[in-house]
Amino acid sequence: MSAPSTSTRNFFTAEESAPVGVSVEKVSKNYGALEVLKDLTFAVEPGEIFVLMGPSGVGKSVLLRHVIGLEAPTSGRVLINGHDVMEEGIREHVRMALVFQEGALFNSLSVYDNLALYPREHRTGTEKAIRDKVMQALKLLSLDDTAEKFPSDLSGGMKKRVAIARALVMEPQLLLYDEPTSELDPVMSATIDEIIATLKNQYHVTTMVVSHDRDLAFSIADRVALMMGGVLIHVGSPDSLKQSTDPRVVDFLNPKIDLEHPRFKKNAT
């Protein structure tokens, strides 16, 4: 991992602010009888790209929602630069954004208005300055011609890119992506990987990415975590994950198709 810088810079303006570290402390989350997160403790260092992998339904999206303070843990806490993320007013001090797995765009708003919503609400600049930021973000994601379209006019992959562009317009210091490259073709996936890495290298954005995409994890991550059964069974460099001999890690990274012993229940009705 490269040394964290002492400051982070906005993408579209030269404004400087402090890099952001995340500390997840003994976080558990239950939904009724379902225990999803079990006493999780880990940190994301300022300016780091931390990639979270794990089987479907294990709680990766739930964890991201806790890191950004959209949901309160059943017990434990998440600290952002030492402040509890559930504290009122934390968003006044730390700019954070989550690119939702499903995009979560406002269907009644055009692409342009989806992106302009946050800067308008937070009065971050003149309408002209907002327009410049929005158009730059759209351009970065090859979406220049979609500004006046509505989410329902877009393909799944385009919606995903709009969701990423919307997060960029917020110029976050802490940026969380939930499956940013699912539904994208290989070239666009590589573009997203490059954007994530560039935001880290040039702007020292602290980044957490949930992904099943091993290329992404192994090419841009500083550290990779593998989540199973509500806990992180491995946290370390991409190489450490690749070299792990833990059978759960080996099976996750290299699932074998075994028709003699299929994973699905043969007699299920």
Task: Name the site residues for Mg ion (rule: CB under 5 A).
Answer: 61, 101
How many CA atoms does the CB half-sphere of 26 hold within 13 Å? 2
CB closer to ligand ATP out of 67 and 165: 67
Note whether 134 and 97 are within 8 A (CB).
no
Binder among 14, 57, 121, 255 for ligand ATP (CB under 6 A): 57
Note whether 111 and 146 are within 8 A (CB).
yes
**Residue 31 binds which entry of ligand ATP, Mg ion, none, with Cβ cut-offs from 5 to 8 Å by kind?**
ligand ATP
Question: Taking CB under 6 A as the rule, does residue 58 contact ligand ATP?
Answer: yes
Q: How far is CA 216 from CA 16, 58, 211, 222, in A?
A: 28, 20, 8, 11
The span of 29-37, 131-139, 157-165, 235-243 binding ligand ATP (CB under 6 A) equals 29-37
Rounded to the nearest whole angstrom, what is the least distance from the CB of residue 60 to Mg ion in the complex?
A: 5
Rounded to the nearest whole angstrom, what is the least distance from the CB of residue 210 to ligand ATP in the complex?
A: 7
Question: Taking CB under 6 A as the rule, does residue 36 contact ligand ATP?
Answer: yes
**Residue 262 binds which entry of ligand ATP, Mg ion, none, with Cβ cut-offs from 5 to 8 Å by kind?**
none
The span of 15-23, 53-61, 90-98, 260-268 binding ligand ATP (CB under 6 A) equals 53-61
Binder among 8, 61, 124, 146 for ligand ATP (CB under 6 A): 61
CB closer to ligand ATP out of 137 and 232: 232
Binder among 21, 59, 69, 180 for ligand ATP (CB under 6 A): 59
Question: Taking CB under 6 A as the rule, does residue 62 contact ligand ATP?
Answer: yes
| Calpha distance 258→262 (Å, rounded) | 6
Applying CB under 6 A, the site for ligand ATP has a residue count of 12
Chain positions 79 to 108 lying near ligand ATP, rule: CB under 6 A, are 101
| Calpha distance 163→147 (Å, rounded) | 13
Question: Taking CB under 6 A as the rule, does residue 46 contact ligand ATP?
Answer: no
Q: How far is CA 239 from CA 39, 49, 224, in A?
A: 26, 15, 9
CB closer to ligand ATP out of 59 and 172: 59
Q: How far is CA 172 from CA 25, 71, 85, in A?
A: 23, 19, 15
Strands (E), the chain: 8-9, 16-17, 22-31, 34-44, 49-53, 75-80, 83-84, 96-99, 174-178, 206-210, 223-228, 231-236
The span of 30-38, 85-93, 152-160, 245-253 binding ligand ATP (CB under 6 A) equals 30-38
Cross-sheet strand order for the sheet of 49-53: 96-99, 174-178, 206-210, 49-53, 223-228, 231-236
